[in-house]
A = this chain, B = another copy of it.
């Protein structure tokens, strides 16, 4: 049995306010929880309906009934493992190779997909503006498919960050230079903007280059979704 106060805490962690206050977040699913443990995330407590967990210390694991789990899970069908973890505090960033910067991405599914793409393409650091959706949001975590364990995510003021950086900064814009014809360096920063408004004017001024994905269909087409665009840009960066 889990005590009431703990059930309440875990349920509250679905909200950003409580995640920030407590410095904790929730990850569900055996595989995802094991991946967090493996990559050095510290567990506060892991509740299971009976599964064995690799990498968890005995004192971290507690039993939970499916009925209790259903009360606190953010999933329609909870799968038997719910871990409460300490948020990772990143203090020093070592930027090597390419870094992805997000300026106000709002949709949790998009952020989750972008984290998964960073993992796939070996991008170690993802820098987010403070307006970008919280990476510990349950919907983001679900969409990352465990990749959150392998990508360092850092929320900061983009103006300060971009002013301090020494590598070339590439902003993505509908009317930018064709990415197929752009010579990309070994190290750089790639910025993607908000779903509706793109990159903000303040951040645009800090871009050294503006790039775009060429369109081949009729010109009436909407812009590409930000996660889809990230996929194409990262593939372009890595394809050489």
Residues of A within 8 A of B (CB): 35, 109, 113, 116-123, 145-147, 150, 180, 213-218, 220-222, 224-225, 227-229, 231-232, 235-236, 238-239
Q: How far is the CB of A190 from chain B (nearest CB, A)?
A: 14
Find out whether the CB atom of B238 lies under 8 angstroms from the CB atom of A119. Answer: no
Cα A225 to Cα B180 in complex, Å, equals 23
List 7 A–B pairs whose Cβ atoms lie within 8 Å, in order of A's numbering. A116-B225, A117-B224, A121-B217, A123-B217, A146-B222, A180-B239, A229-B231
Find out whether the CB atom of B221 lies under 8 angstroms from the CB atom of A147. Answer: yes
A116-B222, A150-B221 known; 12 new pairs, CB 8 Å cut-off, are: A35-B220, A113-B228, A120-B213, A120-B224, A147-B221, A147-B222, A180-B239, A214-B238, A216-B238, A228-B228, A231-B231, A235-B236
Considering the complex, give the chain B residue whose CB is closest to the CB of A222.
B145
Q: How far is the CB of A114 from chain B (nearest CB, A)?
A: 10
Which one of B35, B120, B221, B228 contacts A227 once the chains associate, using CB atoms below 8 Å? B228
